[in-house]
Structure 1
Amino acid sequence: MATSNLPGTDAARHGTGDADLTIMLAAHAAFRRDLVRLAHTTAGSSADAPRHAAIQAGWETFKRQLHLHHTAEDTIIWPALRQRLDHSDHAQSVLDAMEEEHQLIDPLLAAVDAAFAEPDGSSLGDATDALTSQLTAHLTHEERDGLPLIGVALTAAEWRA
């Protein structure tokens, strides 16, 4: 998929800062891809111990990458936007929503962890489905309403930094 076809690309680049959000959009595409793979692999039986261990290793990598992504947003990006856009009630509302959605995702990650720990993994499919639903909705919301704030508030140099 060309980056120009990724959701949010045009809207994210329409701000005065001209920030190139290709890497952010690529990360979102990778999260979506990996969620589909996780859902597909957890739909089957996990009675095969080596297969279960491989799926769990992939899950740990996914979870670590998502944590890094959300931590960067919560500690660097959103605070910078809050300060720069403190005059905009709309921007503050969007940033509040982004933070609230991150908090909704954390328990779903824990539910997948708990399902992996089950001897039979019987709730793994349901836990994965719930995470997929919430996280994909969040990514879409962020691309539609959150990322354009970066283009409005940050210069290309600030974004790169």
Structure 2
Amino acid sequence: MHNEKMADSRDMIGAHDAMRRQFGAMPVLIAGVQAGDAEGTAVVAGHVLMMVDFLHAHHTSEDDHVWPRLRERCPDDVAPLIETMDRQHAFIDDELKALAAGGRRWRASADAGDRDAVAAVAERLLPPLYEHLALEEQRILPLIDRHLTEREWKATVEASFGKVTFVRRLLMLGMALHGASEEQARLLRAAVPAVVWHAGRPLGTRLYRNHRERLAAASRGSDR
């Protein structure tokens, strides 16, 4: 490992910012769907379920590929931090399960009560999610850069992508690039193979633009 290039995990911040944007907009997006609008409900509920899948894939890849290596390679005094990450993941996962269950109920009913219940769970998720992302950026990313190789880090990112379909990978790329700073876009470009970037970036950008347009048509609360 000493002869290998070490990880540069700053691309994680771009992924986190995309999650902040999407989950932060979610309560108003959900509340903006008219009661009884089955088509609009299906679009926005589908978006909610997709974002649950994205975040779950992101976290389980860390569980499988990052925490074990940090436990093995970091000093013993880092163990409490990793335990905190585990607890936060478990808590957020429970909230994601509640969000997904509510989203499926709402998609089936297009009912105002189910809609409002989903919006409430989405709102409740935000403080623990923001706290977790900030702690990870402050404390975990420096450890990744110090203790994981570039190869190991890219394998972790690929494991996360590998849990979703190819089309959704492209949509995720378009989502991450939308609103990204120039520096974040540069880091995302460095994180993916050149062929994926050159072919995937225009496709992902188009897919996400179309996705935003569908959300805007479905909800008065869409500003994405």
Aligned position for 2:85: 98
Residue 28 (1) aligns with residue 22 (2):
no
Distance 2:100 2:148 in 1: 36
Aligned amino acid, residue 41 of structure 1: L
Q: Counterpart of 2:218?
A: none
In structure 2, what is the Cα distance between the partners aligned to 1:59 and 1:142?
23
TM (norm. structure 2) is: 0.59
Alpha-carbon RMSD: 1.8
How many residues of Structure 1 are paired with residues of Structure 2 in the alignment?
Answer: 143
Higher relative contact order (CA 8 A, sep 6+): 1
Match of 2:52 in 1: 63
- Report the counterpart of residue 81 of structure 1 in structure 2: 70
* AA in 2 matched with 1:20: D
Tell whether 2:95 aligns with 1:108.
yes
Residue by residue, what CA displacement relative to the aligned partner does 1:43-90 show, whole Å, maximum 9, x if unpaired? 3344122111111111121111111111110011110111011x331x
Structure index of larger Rg: 2
**Structure 2 residue ranges without an equivalent (≥5):** 156-224
CA displacement, residues 91-144 of structure 1 (integer Å, 9 cap, x when unaligned): 111111111100001121122223321543231221111112211111111111
- The answer as to whether partners of 1:98 and 1:146 remain within 8 angstroms in 2 is no
1:7 counterpart residue number = none
Structure 1 residues 6-61: Cα deviation after superposition (integer angstroms, max 9, x where no partner)? xxxxxxxxxxx752213311111111111122122123344122111111111121
- Secondary structure (helix, strand or coil) at the match of 2:8 reads coil
Answer yes or no: is 1:156 the counterpart of 2:150: yes
Percent of residue pairs bearing the same amino acid type: 34
Q: Give unpaired runs (5+ residues) of structure 1.
A: 1-16
Q: Matches of 1:142 and 1:70 in 2, distance apart?
A: 11
Distance (whole Å) between structure 2 residues aligned to residue 145 and residue 43 of structure 1:
35
Q: Does structure 1 residue 146 correspond to structure 2 residue 140?
A: yes
1:38 partner letter: M
The TM-score with structure 1 as length reference comes to: 0.80
